[in-house]
Structure 1
Amino acid sequence: MIRIRTLENPTSLDPAYATRALDGQLACLVHGGLVRCGSQGQILPELAHSWESLEGGKRYRFKLRENLRFPSGVALTSEDVVYSFSRLSSRKNASPHAWLFEDVAGYREVYEGSSERLPGIHVVDLHAFEIELASPSATLPARLTMPAARIVDSRAVLKEGDRYGRHPAALGAWEVLDWADDSHISLRPNPLYPGHNHNVKAIRFTLSPQDFSACALFETGGLHILQPLPLTQAARWKSFAGWQDQIMRIREMNVYYLGFGCHRPPLNDAKVRQALAACIHPEPFRKALFGSRTEPAYGPIPPGLPGNLLADAPGLKRPDPEGLELLRQKELELWFIESEASISLAMEAIQADLAAAGIRCRLRKTDAATYASWRREGKFDLFFANWWADYPDPDNFLAPLFKTASASNMTRYSDPETDRLIARVAIEPDSGKRQKIAQEASRRIVEAAPAVFLWHRNTEILYQPWVKGLDPSPLFHASLHLDLRIEEQASHLFGSR
């Protein structure tokens, strides 16, 4: 058994109700999806062996693998896809992810209860079906990597009812072996799943929220994969001879940024925002505080996705004198949540950058509830925030963060041309053209300065030398551990098999 550190208790493994990071990860491990996200962010087949875009992205045809069976003994068919996606979309089931298929034709009929089936999913035969969309979209395959899009067995759901989140039975790579609250959850390989390539009999996610205790467990063999490697312990482990090679860095899909309240004077003036952005220099404090845990952000889209801007992207070098003078006439407030001590230090560095330009800035460290309330009311001058990908696509960064009237557009930035470019990214089927459009949208956002993009965060993993086949995904929920194995002859310093 391989033991993996976790920071929280799981609550539900039902894809329709998995809202926390660990729940989403476990839901993907025990439920197969039509597709999955690979280690480089690519879309790979899972329960579907192929798919194609038709009618310019308005219709998609999928073909399921044949001869797959649920633990109930019933074969996987197209009807299971119809059931899973219709169940998710129905308002009566109160899934927080019901929005996922809102662009499927006939979605409102299922959501409002006038139909039990999504009319836009057309069954061709037992193992082929088509998804018809209300309008063309290039993002559907990427969205299907999300935990909420996992396929469930209607027989198991109906049998367990509200208990299904604790007792899932599906076609994922793993199945639940045992689950002890405030302790662990163990999974074993699902013999019904195609594609395992390991000799591991089980994996156990062990609750260990305290960094020091987690490292002690690792040293004594109680943990075999330390994810994440605590920032406070990283330098120590990197100093141990032989252990540098046991630290793996995952380039994850996220962006950390300093947002500006674009609706609040004087920040409703682009020249003022540009002047403010030009006064902030993230690189010195990013390197000093976070080092290899981060890499510089030059725009909203992280490395590995189309539209990511490189280091030579156009920047804002000199503050506009008129904009700078307007900023000096007001004391700004910068709101943030201190998730770790380094965040406060980073905010102090930003405050110092602004002070050097003659701009007064008051730091407002607050709790999550107050932060959320002020966000809804739009009371921020400046705020520190981050966004993590739900699915591997540039649309998942551009549309939520910078499309006019998006619920997650905390800056309240609004620009018709940016909206037009974002809409084109969502529908363009040609990958080369899509890359250029996404980059154009990113450059326009950077130049309009609704935010200063600070860094993209990486995660470091420490693992025992005899653990092989780690192949983590840049998405928090997408690592299926299909190649995880134990190398019996490997030498190791800590831990037992």
Structure 2
Amino acid sequence: MKGRRRLGAVLAILLLVLLALIGTTCGVGAWLFSRYNGRLPGSNGTPEITVHHGGELHLFGQPPVTLDPALVEDSYSAAYVVEIFSGLVTLDRNLNVVPDLAERWDVSPDGRTYTFYLRPNTTFQDGKPVTAADFKYSLERACSPALASPAARSYLGDIVGAIDMIEGRASSISGVRVLDDHRLSITIDAPKAYFLAKLTYSTAFVVDRTNVESGANWTEHPNGTGPFRLSQHNDQQIVLEPNTHYYGTGPSLDRVTFLFSGGSPVDMYENGQLDIAYVGLDDIDRVQDPTNMLSHDLTVAPQLDVQYLAMNVNEPPFDDIKVRRAFAEAIDREKLAKVVLKDTGVAATGILPPGMPGYNTALQGLPFDPEQARKLLQESRYKDAAHLPQVVLDIAGESDAAPPTIEAIVAMLHDNLGVNVRVEQMPWDQFLTALDQRQFTLFSSGWIADYPDPQDFIDILFDSQSHDNQTGYRNPQVDQLLQQARVEQNRDARLRLYQQAEAMIVQDAPWIPLWHSRDYVLVKPYVKGAVFSAAVRPWLKDVSVDR
């Protein structure tokens, strides 16, 4: 999932703790940090948390690009959608795939057909029962050419007939069948270990047809099935309140308010306006000072993400691999992570973040080597920086100045390679649209795990046919490895295939992996039961406040 971190501002989703899973459906494994009274549990386990019902939680947020589950492609929007809507399966706090609206499922002997059994008591927020036909409608709506979902191909494309519908060759998904009101059959094109995990993405969430067809602005009053309902949505805030028809144990909170403005999140936290706050670079030093009371509320959590520069390999000058590698070797990622980011990031050598299954500690990334970078540029068909076309770096943003990381990268490319880079900014929603249309030659972005499987990074972002491959990268050997990995049932063999593909991609350099993030987060001692994950999942229903 596309993610953006604006240093000095809050990340809307507040996904705070790294998990890498052990023994899940995807065969992966995990770290789990629990937040309790501002302290991490010791080795003897997580302390039992007493739930206190009621209260309001205040968070800093960002306005969503969309609240339509089928159209979500960014982490800002997903933060709200996963609380308001739900699907057949979900991720638990350990990032295991677990039942959600489906109480169980069977898998055919050939591993291709899943039969889901819906919970008999599941309803929409207005009390109307959810049926298998509602899921079929929702999946087919997500794949309809008229809706043009930017995410449907990546997350639903394994279902037989989904691509035919997306491309307008069919009016329904042949692999989705309603067996009765409470049984849904989904057939995929081959047995794939990660398929269930893909169904945790919002393109597979159920929506109410009557609600959707009530008008273009239906997401202003969505009739979802998640633990919360949308109470308010305006330019200043989003307010969520409990869904009284939620099938499971309902939220403990009376209300969750996401504020879109109000000043520095840390200042708002100190003034009592926020209960949880992401710490930006300007405040990192003081919140880590042991003499500052804020240090007692601080949690530091690595993320399953990667921040990167990407180059369109079909456009000059990045259609020359020597230019791409020259740019990569001119950037000091260790300096970015340690100095510019003040250790809030870990320098990236590859694509997969630490903690992700398949993360390769032995991966040899492209080194920081200014001399070699200049040599590579001389060996390219451009010969030197003077003969390069104007290089424009596109980023999401609307501020007067570029973020410090971007300023540092521009300076490194100038000092180490002699390249003058012009930075252009655009609003986040416009940036996403331009990204989907492959309008950029060089851009900066990030990717946050949707689920803990390397397929979510290596395949979705670099397969030559993937919608989310925004660089135009194509390597037949990589494609072949990815095709093998999709159907490989042996976990270790599958991870090795992804590692081989990653090593080739790093050397081809369509991306320059920059860093993997660490979140620094302040949490008030009276906030109980908050366990934050490194992938998007519904977490607010488990939180309570005890003032």
| SS, match of residue 185 in structure 1 | strand
CA contact under 8 A between 1:37 and 1:473: conserved in structure 2?
A: no
**C-alpha distance in structure 2 between counterparts of 1:28 and 1:321, whole Å:** 47
User: Per-residue deviation at 1:451?
Assistant: 3.3
Match of 1:434 in 2: 494
Give 1:185's match in structure 2, choosing from 234, 238, 258: 238
Match of 2:173 in 1: 118
CA contact under 8 A between 2:125 and 2:246: conserved in structure 1?
A: no
Match of 1:362 in 2: 420
Pairing 1:453–2:513 present: yes
**C-alpha distance in structure 1 between counterparts of 2:158 and 2:436, whole Å:** 27
Match of 1:106 in 2: 161
Give deviations 1:358-398, integer Å, cap 9, x for gaps.
Answer: x3221221133799879967884x65443334454322322
Unaligned runs of 5+ in 1: 489-497
Q: CA 1:103 to 1:370, structure 2 compared with 1: closer, same or farther past 3 Å? A: closer
Match of 1:345 in 2: 407
Q: CA 1:372 to 1:191, structure 2 compared with 1: closer, same or farther past 3 Å? A: closer
Pairing 1:15–2:66 present: no
* 1:247-286 paired onto structure 2 within 5 Å: 247-260=298-311, 262-263=313-314, 274=325, 277-286=328-337
Give deviations 1:72-115, integer Å, cap 9, x for gaps.
Answer: 43333322211221222223345444434344223366557787
User: Per-residue deviation at 1:464?
Assistant: 1.5
Q: Give the letter for the 2:114 counterpart.
A: Y
Match of 1:494 in 2: none
Q: CA 1:56 to 1:255, structure 2 compared with 1: closer, same or farther past 3 Å? A: farther
Pairing 1:235–2:285 present: yes
Give 1:69's match in structure 2, choosing from 111, 118, 123: 123
CA contact under 8 A between 1:196 and 1:483: conserved in structure 2?
A: no
Q: CA 1:168 to 1:108, structure 2 compared with 1: closer, same or farther past 3 Å? A: same
Pairing 1:290–2:290 present: no
Give 1:30's match in structure 2, choosing from 67, 70, 84: 84
CA contact under 8 A between 2:345 and 2:517: conserved in structure 1?
A: yes
CA contact under 8 A between 2:244 and 2:250: conserved in structure 1?
A: no
Match of 1:131 in 2: 186
| SS, match of residue 49 in structure 1 | strand
CA contact under 8 A between 2:394 and 2:443: conserved in structure 1?
A: no
402-411 vs 421-430, which moves further: 402-411
Match of 1:170 in 2: 224
**C-alpha distance in structure 1 between counterparts of 2:227 and 2:473, whole Å:** 42
**C-alpha distance in structure 2 between counterparts of 1:31 and 1:261, whole Å:** 35
* 1:376-455 paired onto structure 2 within 5 Å: 380=441, 383-404=443-464, 406-455=466-515
Unaligned runs of 5+ in 2: 1-54
Pairing 1:47–2:104 present: no
293-302 vs 149-158, which moves further: 149-158
| SS, match of residue 92 in structure 1 | coil
CA contact under 8 A between 2:394 and 2:440: conserved in structure 1?
A: no
Give deviations 1:123-169, integer Å, cap 9, x for gaps.
Answer: 344433221123444432222122222112334445x3434211112
Give deviations 1:188-207, integer Å, cap 9, x for gaps.
Answer: 22233244376322211222
Report how many residues are paired: 476
Match of 2:252 in 1: 199
| SS, match of residue 460 in structure 1 | strand
Q: Give the letter for the 2:527 counterpart.
A: V
Give 1:59's match in structure 2, choosing from 96, 113, 127: 113
**C-alpha distance in structure 1 between counterparts of 2:181 and 2:512, whole Å:** 51
343-352 vs 371-380, which moves further: 371-380
Match of 1:486 in 2: 545
**C-alpha distance in structure 2 between counterparts of 1:457 and 1:98, whole Å:** 27
User: Per-residue deviation at 1:219?
Assistant: 2.4
| SS, match of residue 146 in structure 2 | helix
Pairing 1:335–2:392 present: yes
> TM-score, with normalisation over the residues of structure 2?
0.76
**C-alpha distance in structure 2 between counterparts of 1:345 and 1:388, whole Å:** 23
CA contact under 8 A between 1:9 and 1:207: conserved in structure 2?
A: yes
CA contact under 8 A between 1:6 and 1:205: conserved in structure 2?
A: yes
Q: CA 1:257 to 1:193, structure 2 compared with 1: closer, same or farther past 3 Å? A: same
Q: CA 1:325 to 1:255, structure 2 compared with 1: closer, same or farther past 3 Å? A: same
| SS, match of residue 309 in structure 2 | strand
User: Per-residue deviation at 1:286?
Assistant: 1.7
436-445 vs 331-340, which moves further: 331-340
Q: CA 1:54 to 1:281, structure 2 compared with 1: closer, same or farther past 3 Å? A: farther
Give 2:364's match in structure 1, choosing from 314, 323, 331: 314
| SS, match of residue 63 in structure 1 | strand
Q: Give the letter for the 2:506 counterpart.
A: V
Percent identity over the alignment is 28
User: Per-residue deviation at 1:420?
Assistant: 0.9
Q: Give the letter for the 1:413 counterpart.
A: Y
Match of 1:491 in 2: none
**C-alpha distance in structure 1 between counterparts of 2:435 and 2:173, whole Å:** 38
CA contact under 8 A between 2:127 and 2:245: conserved in structure 1?
A: no
> TM-score, with normalisation over the residues of structure 1?
0.82
Q: Judging by fraction of residues, say which structure has more helix.
A: 1
**C-alpha distance in structure 1 between counterparts of 2:152 and 2:305, whole Å:** 23
Match of 1:220 in 2: 271
Q: CA 1:211 to 1:298, structure 2 compared with 1: closer, same or farther past 3 Å? A: farther
CA contact under 8 A between 1:40 and 1:474: conserved in structure 2?
A: no
User: Per-residue deviation at 1:67?
Assistant: 2.4
Q: Give the letter for the 1:192 counterpart.
A: H
Match of 2:14 in 1: none
Q: Give the letter for the 2:173 counterpart.
A: L
**C-alpha distance in structure 1 between counterparts of 2:74 and 2:471, whole Å:** 25
Give deviations 1:13-64, integer Å, cap 9, x for gaps.
Answer: 3323445544322221111211223344432322123345445543223232
Q: Give the letter for the 1:233 counterpart.
A: D
User: Per-residue deviation at 1:172?
Assistant: 0.7
Q: CA 1:52 to 1:446, structure 2 compared with 1: closer, same or farther past 3 Å? A: farther
Q: Give the letter for the 2:201 counterpart.
A: M
**C-alpha distance in structure 1 between counterparts of 2:269 and 2:113, whole Å:** 49
**C-alpha distance in structure 1 between counterparts of 2:421 and 2:239, whole Å:** 43
CA contact under 8 A between 1:68 and 1:76: conserved in structure 2?
A: yes
| SS, match of residue 482 in structure 1 | helix
| SS, match of residue 216 in structure 2 | helix
